[in-house]
């Protein structure tokens, strides 16, 4: 990017591209952008204040909720995102984790899992995907030693997730991370629940007490009232 202030800000955001780790330290950002550490720190602080970046308890930075909202016009339906934002903010604050909303784009068995954060994790290896999948995908690549790669085992998990209305996925996509997600259900116009239109959840570090996280995820998902589809 150029030497303008805007160019430097964009270069900080570009540092999170390329399929690398979702959380970067300030030293990582400075190295990826080529900016001096004091300049990178000033720009990062400005982006945190604006909402484009979020600073975790461990001092790392990840893309922020405001940036996710701006980039979420597709494929996540805008009305669904607007309805979920208060619950996402409350869930992140309550758990200290990274709250997200996901939809499945494409066929239910082989669709692409799309998170508001912009991530595209494999559906079979996250709680979000296990909430949304109707059947095991055709391909089940292994990402960690904990990834479920047996279609039969995954099919059993999906059945239990549908019955429980909750999925917990420990270290199947990334070591050190646990995802917990619950379905966001649509309505039929009469106040009754409808089909699953998305998955709302949170990513926390392993070792975090999951009872509290599970309760928070259930409560957050239940708060979301998606708009009714236009007639």
DSSP 109: T
Using the structure block, give the residue that is written with the tokens 């150029």: 2
pLDDT tens figures, 170-180? 999 999 999 99
The mean pLDDT of the chain is: 85
Dihedral, CA atoms, 65, 228, 74, 71, nearest 10 degrees?
Answer: -20
What ranges in 124-181 are assigned the alpha helix state H? 127-132, 151-164
User: Which range (3-12, 66-75, 135-144, 162-171) has the least confidence?
Assistant: 66-75
pLDDT tens figures, 129-160? 999 999 999 899 999 999 999 999 999 999 99
Q: What is the mean pLDDT of residues 109-119?
A: 75
Cβ atoms of 129 and 160 within 8 Å: the answer is no
**Residue 190 has what pLDDT?**
38
Comparing 64 with 218, the larger pLDDT belongs to: 218
3-state secondary structure of 111: coil
Name the band, by pLDDT with cuts 50, 70 and 90, for residue 186. confident
Comparing 213 with 21, the larger pLDDT belongs to: 213
**Residue 193 has what pLDDT?**
52
């Amino acid at each position: 990017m150029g030497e303008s202030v805007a160019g430097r800000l964009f270069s900080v955001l570009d540092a999170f591209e390329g399929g690398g780790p979702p959380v970067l330290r300030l030293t990582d950002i400075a190295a990826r952008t080529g900016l001096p550490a004091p300049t990178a720190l000033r720009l990062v602080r400005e982006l945190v204040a604006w909402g484009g970046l979020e600073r975790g308890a461990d001092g790392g930075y990840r893309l922020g909720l405001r940036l996710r909202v701006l980039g979420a016009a597709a494929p996540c339906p805008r009305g669904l995102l607007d309805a979920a934002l208060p619950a996402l903010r409350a869930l992140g604050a309550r758990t200290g984790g990274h709250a997200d909303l996901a939809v499945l784009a494409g066929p239910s068995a082989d669709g692409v899992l799309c998170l508001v954060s912009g991530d595209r994790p494999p559906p079979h290896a996250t709680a979000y995907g296990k909430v949304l999948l109707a059947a095991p995908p055709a391909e089940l690549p292994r990402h960690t030693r904990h990834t479920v790669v047996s279609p039969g085992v995954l099919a059993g998990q999906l059945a239990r997730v549908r019955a429980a209305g909750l999925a917990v996925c420990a270290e199947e996509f990334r070591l050190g991370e646990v995802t917990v997600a619950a379905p966001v259900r649509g309505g039929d116009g009469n106040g009754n629940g409808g089909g699953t239109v998305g998955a709302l959840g949170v990513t926390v570090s392993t070792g975090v007490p999951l009872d509290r996280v599970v309760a928070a995820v259930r409560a957050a998902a239940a708060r979301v009232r998606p708009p009714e589809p236009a007639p």
